[in-house]
């Protein structure tokens, strides 16, 4: 009987995005999060006395030239060497772009698979054969899984591969392959990487994405970690997820339908925050708050969105080790605007005209020329929902609705004050 660990998408020293602009942000934790999560992986390997670790790509985060990142990685692998723990690496798309990957000499307990063709390494004492291939270029579009060798008889066969399979949302289609391509090799376990959400694609045989070990922004929520695999009598006996993350991201949706006042809404939000905190198992929490429901205070929420956002942020900080990444106001009016306005008046006509506005994404971006100018100067990886300037269709549509609701709320408040 023996155990091994399967991890992927370490992204050492990758920045955590979404809290940078806040004075109360946990700066030190943000900077060190991926390193501390990797330390947790090393500690777990030693504690569980694993025989080897499989790392399925993206150890680094692109073309980083800070060799301290690589030195940190080497030092941690050397700790495993002292414990007689072997490590098998298959580079991913980010590693192919990294100067660190090409320059550092790995300890002798580590094997980096060739990026030219699949190769096989055996552990005779355990009866294990590990097959793998890394990336020679960042944008690997070919199906390299088809070139992997057939399973060796009388061995526990493992495939190590960084792939998108047939495609996953928000991930580039690198090293595409089908489930049939993997199953045709006859392996007992496929250790995959590239997809940051844990997924057990198959159990017969086991085909697993462990997810990344540390969430880096609001689109990487929930527990993050590695997969611990137990082998008995030459067969996979158990596959378990183990959390390694040190700071967790969560989407906190709060339905305010029953809230007739802001005070009641705050009570509901506090309760929801506490529930999210309980699920984080003592970890610091980065939270996106989304307010939903057809509620009587819809207009007031949008009218006071700026001050309420600060109040919600203070509420989170007051609960301890919790920070708001963003507040999204997606509540709705309890009755249609036309019905609530009643008779036709100039004010009613104006409000309905605003409600009918079709704010297209391109038009919104052109309203603020500085955004367009900044876009041209930033690297592509920052121009997505997890980055500094979200540009997706969903985000811009949501922004258009927020703009309309704020205008309507302000006009209604002016009308009531007269």
Contacts of 312 (CB under 8 A, 6+ apart): 266, 269, 289, 324, 327
Domain membership of residue 35 as a residue range: 2-243
Q: Can you give the pLDDT at residue 395?
A: 47
Q: Are residues 184 and 303 in the same domain?
A: no
Among 243, 259, 276, the domain boundary falls at 243
Among 190, 224, 243, the domain boundary falls at 243
Q: Are residues 92 and 238 in the same domain?
A: yes
Q: Chunked in runs of 10, what are the mean pLDDT values of the chain (418 residues)?
A: 96 81 68 93 98 93 71 94 96 70 82 94 98 88 94 98 83 87 97 95 97 94 97 97 96 96 96 96 94 92 90 93 91 69 54 54 55 48 44 50 56 51
Q: Are residues 30 and 57 in the same domain?
A: yes
Q: Are residues 125 and 208 in the same domain?
A: yes
Q: Can you give the pLDDT at residue 402?
A: 59
**How far apart are alpha carbons 112 and 132 in whole angstroms?**
9
Q: Can you give the pLDDT at residue 366?
A: 57
Q: Are residues 39 and 126 in the same domain?
A: yes
Q: Are residues 123 and 207 in the same domain?
A: yes
Q: Are residues 145 and 259 in the same domain?
A: no
Q: Are residues 221 and 256 in the same domain?
A: no
Q: Are residues 217 and 279 in the same domain?
A: no
Q: Can you give the pLDDT at residue 21?
A: 61
Separation in Å, CA 233 to CA 2, 81, 85, 237, 379:
9, 26, 20, 9, 50
Q: Can you give the pLDDT at residue 170?
A: 67
**How far apart are alpha carbons 389 and 380 in whole angstroms?**
10
Q: Can you give the pLDDT at residue 104?
A: 76
Q: Are residues 85 and 227 in the same domain?
A: yes
Q: Can you give the pLDDT at residue 379?
A: 44
Q: Can you give the pLDDT at residue 172?
A: 75
Beta bridge partners of 53: 5, 87
Q: Can you give the pLDDT at residue 383?
A: 44
SS3 248: strand
DSSP string over 61-77: -SS---HHHHHHHHHHH
**How far apart are alpha carbons 164 and 171 in whole angstroms?**
7
Task: Let me know: does 4 contact 238? Beta carbons within 8 Å.
Answer: no
Contacts of 175 (CB under 8 A, 6+ apart): 135, 140, 141, 142, 143, 144, 145, 161, 162, 163, 164, 194
Q: Can you give the pLDDT at residue 381?
A: 41
DSSP code at position 26: -
Q: Are residues 316 and 293 in the same domain?
A: yes
Q: Are residues 276 and 228 in the same domain?
A: no
Domain count, the chain: 2
Q: Can you give the pLDDT at residue 66?
A: 66
Task: Let me know: does 20 contact 326? Beta carbons within 8 Å.
Answer: no
Among 185, 215, 243, the domain boundary falls at 243
Q: What is the CATH number of the domain that holds 37?
A: 3.60.21.10
């Amino acid at each position: 009987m023996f155990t091994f660990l399967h991890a992927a998408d370490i992204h050492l020293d990758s920045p955590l995005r979404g809290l940078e602009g806040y004075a109360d942000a946990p700066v030190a934790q943000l900077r060190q999060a991926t390193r501390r999560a990797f330390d947790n992986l090393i500690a777990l390997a030693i504690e569980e006395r694993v025989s080897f670790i499989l790392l399925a790509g993206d150890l680094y985060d692109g073309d980083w030239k800070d060799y301290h990142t690589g030195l940190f990685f080497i030092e941690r692998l050397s700790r495993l060497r002292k414990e007689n723990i072997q490590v098998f690496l298959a580079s991913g798309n980010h590693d192919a772009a990294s100067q660190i990957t090409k320059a550092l000499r790995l300890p002798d307990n580590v094997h980096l698979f060739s990026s030219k063709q699949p190769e096989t390494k055996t552990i005779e004492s355990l009866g294990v054969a590990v097959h793998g291939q890394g990336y020679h270029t960042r944008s690997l579009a070919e199906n390299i899984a088809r070139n992997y060798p057939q399973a060796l008889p009388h061995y526990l066969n493992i495939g190590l591969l960084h792939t998108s399979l047939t495609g996953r949302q928000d991930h580039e289609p690198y090293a595409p392959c089908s489930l049939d391509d993997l199953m045709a090799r006859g392996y007992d376990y496929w250790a995959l990487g590239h997809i940051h959400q844990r997924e057990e694609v198959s159990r017969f045989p086991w085909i697993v994405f462990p997810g990344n070990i540390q969430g880096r922004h609001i689109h990487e929520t929930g527990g993050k970690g590695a997969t611990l695999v137990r082998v008995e009598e030459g067969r996979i006996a158990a596959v378990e997820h183990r959390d390694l993350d040190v700071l967790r991201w969560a989407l906190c949706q709060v339905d305010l339908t029953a809230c007739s006042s802001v005070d009641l809404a705050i009570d509901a939000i506090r309760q929801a925050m506490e529930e999210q905190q309980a699920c984080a198992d003592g970890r610091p929490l980065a939270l996106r708050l989304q307010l939903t429901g057809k509620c009587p205070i819809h207009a007031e929420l949008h009218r006071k969105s700026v001050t309420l956002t600060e109040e919600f942020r203070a509420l989170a900080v007051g609960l301890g080790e919790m920070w708001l990444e963003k507040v999204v106001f997606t509540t709705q009016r309890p009755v249609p605007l036309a019905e609530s306005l009643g008779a036709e008046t100039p004010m009613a006509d104006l409000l309905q005209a605003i409600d009918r506005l079709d704010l297209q994404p391109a038009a919104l971006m052109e309203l603020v020329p500085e955004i367009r100018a900044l876009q041209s100067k930033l690297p592509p990886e920052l121009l997505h929902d997890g980055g500094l300037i979200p540009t997706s269709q969903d985000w811009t549509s949501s922004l258009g609705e927020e703009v309309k609701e704020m205008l309507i709320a302000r006009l209604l408040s002016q009308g009531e004050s007269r």
